[in-house]
A and B are shown apart, each in its own frame.
Chain A
Amino acid sequence: MNDDAREATILDALEGVAARAAVSSRLEPPGGEAILRSVVEAAVAVFGAEAASIALHEPDTDRLVIRVAAGRAGAGAIGLAFAASTGIAGYVFSTGQPLAVSDVTADPRFDRAAAETTGYVPGSILAVPILDDNGSVGVLEVLDGRSEGGNQLRDLDLASVFAHQAAVSIRASRVERDTAELLRATLARLATDRDLDAAAIESVVSDTAAHLDSEGGGRLWALADAVARARHASPDQVGLVIEILDALARRSARPAPRSFRR
């Protein structure tokens, strides 16, 4: 086998691996989903609720899909999808504004069909947004919690802490998913053009990474790409990059005044 054929074989093999990695990460959800499950289980326990669920937004279909649920009345809800722009969850998702409803059945059209699909129609709902740096990515709902002292304001605040935990987990699992996508997309492009030198391959990886950042303004992969490319710099230049990043890190770690928290 000559060198070209060997390289082609290796690329084919890597692409096969990347494709399977991408599929398996869908079939067997990464660690993040286990954390989401623990978040809803903890929410059920803390609120003494009949159910708690986390619905995440799927941009392709513009629907909120319940990914995890817990509690006696929660099991039937997993996989349920509903429009991202209507109903209580849709409002909370759209506006990022937490909301508690004491008696949801007062609105005859409110999510009743969706709720009946799960075999459970709640009386009360706490709904809080799951927010990342660019806006809502989902909604955490707690159904029929037994509010201590009936203070749903306090409950909304508490539920927001759970939602924040979920957001941290979702963010971490997105990096895992994007990494698989980066590998898959890069190899797919290399497979179709096998005459690239090292600089061109680096450029392909860089270009692919740039497409992973969301339209909403997240720049995580752009930052990762810039830092990764800087590894080819001279020792002096690398030293400068480290100094700049260090200065930036110290500046962003400085607490903002309370009235200007961003």
Chain B
Amino acid sequence: MSLDLPAWSEPFADSNRGGLARHGPWGRVERDWAFGDASGRGLRVAIIDSGVEADHPAVGGRLVESVAVEKVGDEWEIVPTQPLDVVGHGTACAGIIHALAPEADIVSVRVLGPDNRGNGGAFATGLWWAIEQSGASVANLSLSSRSEAFFGPLHELADEAYFRNVLLVSAANNVSVASYPSLYAAVVSVAAHDVPSGDTWFYNPAPPVEFGAYGLNVDVAWRSGTRMVVTGNSFAAPHIAGYAARIRAAHPGITPFETKALLAATADNAT
């Protein structure tokens, strides 16, 4: 049976990976050099999601700030909030990033909540704060908006992040519609591959989804101190965010563009 599936993961599937083989202009870069001590020390990673559970063992006590987007009158505002997770998903992302960059600080920007659900305004406000106020140099977005009304504002924010030296890592959405900001050129867009390894990632030279990372049957942290085995592009993105945190901490001053180039040059298909 052959179906035209809306699959950003397809280029990274076992049967298709031959198409990714390539020889980059500067060859392969060794991960040991790119990652340095692989600690993420001195760096902040923002997680724009459902919140992060501060005392989950997988987060390692690295959560340093928690804010939430709330509607005050007609405006969306950033407010300090309890370090809790309304779903478990933000904690899953934090756990993956902490495992890869254990000394990186984590900032939680909760854009999900009973009143914010699926609201592009809440999402854009949280993203704005992460870029301009949080002090983070890497932001993980394992969620997206598909509101046409926010195509423009989110695009501007993605460019703003790029110019302000903040790397946005965005999960692609495997549904048959566009979602933002994962399809913008200024972000690192990630889908899941089917290799059961957190140390494996691929660079896809055919945008918009340029990276494939571990997202199939991933053992992740979840709400209330638990763990779950989950699948989705949502869990691939924080792997790339974790590698990016290693690279950015090891090479202070490195730009988002240079970080992306190093992620490509250290990918499993780089030769």
Contact = CB atoms under 8 A, between A and B. Distances in A.
Interface string A93-111: 1111111111110111110
A153 B118 contact: no
B222 interface: yes
A90 B113 CA distance: 10
Contacts of B233: 97-98
B118 A157 contact: no
A85 B226 CA distance: 19
A200 B260 CA distance: 61
Nearest to A152: B231
B114 A160 contact: no
Interface string B194-226: 100000000000011000000111000011101
Contact of A262 (B151, B230, B232): B151
Interface stretch (A33-41, A224-232, A253-261): A253-261
Contact of A157 (B5, B223, B230): B5
Interface of A: 62, 83-87, 90-91, 93-104, 106-110, 128-129, 131, 133-136, 150-154, 156-158, 160-161, 163-164, 216-217, 258-262
Contacts of B87: 86-87, 90-91, 94
B146 interface: yes
- Which of B112, B173, B229, B231 gathers most chain A CB within 10 Å? B231
B148 A133 contact: yes
Contacts of B215: 153
Given A153-B192, A217-B148, A161 B183 contact: no
Nearest to A155: B231
A256 to B, nearest CB: 9
A160 B175 contact: yes
Given A96-B118, A135-B118, A261-B183, A153 B147 contact: no
A172 B127 CA distance: 34
B178 to A, nearest CB: 5
B222 to A, nearest CB: 5
A138 B173 CA distance: 16
B228 interface: yes
B56 to A, nearest CB: 12
Interface in B53-107: 86-89
Given A90-B87, A103-B229, A160-B175, A62 B114 contact: yes
A158 B117 contact: no
Nearest to B120: A135
> DSSP class of A's interface residues: helix, strand, loop or mixed?
mixed
Interface of B: 3, 5-7, 9-10, 13, 50, 86-89, 112-114, 117-118, 120, 142-149, 151, 171, 173-179, 183, 185, 192, 194, 207-208, 215-217, 222-224, 226-234
28 contacts: A84-B117, A85-B113, A94-B117, A94-B118, A96-B146, A97-B142, A97-B144, A98-B232, A102-B228, A103-B229, A128-B175, A131-B175, A133-B148, A135-B120, A135-B147, A136-B118, A153-B9, A153-B174, A154-B13, A156-B174, A157-B5, A160-B175, A163-B175, A164-B176, A216-B147, A259-B185, A259-B207, A261-B178
A102 B216 CA distance: 10
Given A128-B175, A135-B118, 9 more contacts: A94-B50, A94-B143, A101-B230, A103-B229, A107-B222, A108-B224, A158-B3, A163-B175, A260-B183
B173 A96 contact: yes
A96 B228 contact: no
Contact of A160 (B6, B117, B226): B6
A154 B223 CA distance: 26
B118 to A, nearest CB: 5
B224 A107 contact: yes
B231 A99 contact: yes
Nearest to A85: B114
Contact of A103 (B10, B113, B175, B228): B228
A98 B146 contact: no
Contacts of B171: 97
Contacts of A109: 223-224
B149 A217 contact: yes
Contacts of B194: 151, 153
B88 A161 contact: no
A195 to B, nearest CB: 38
Contacts of B13: 153-154
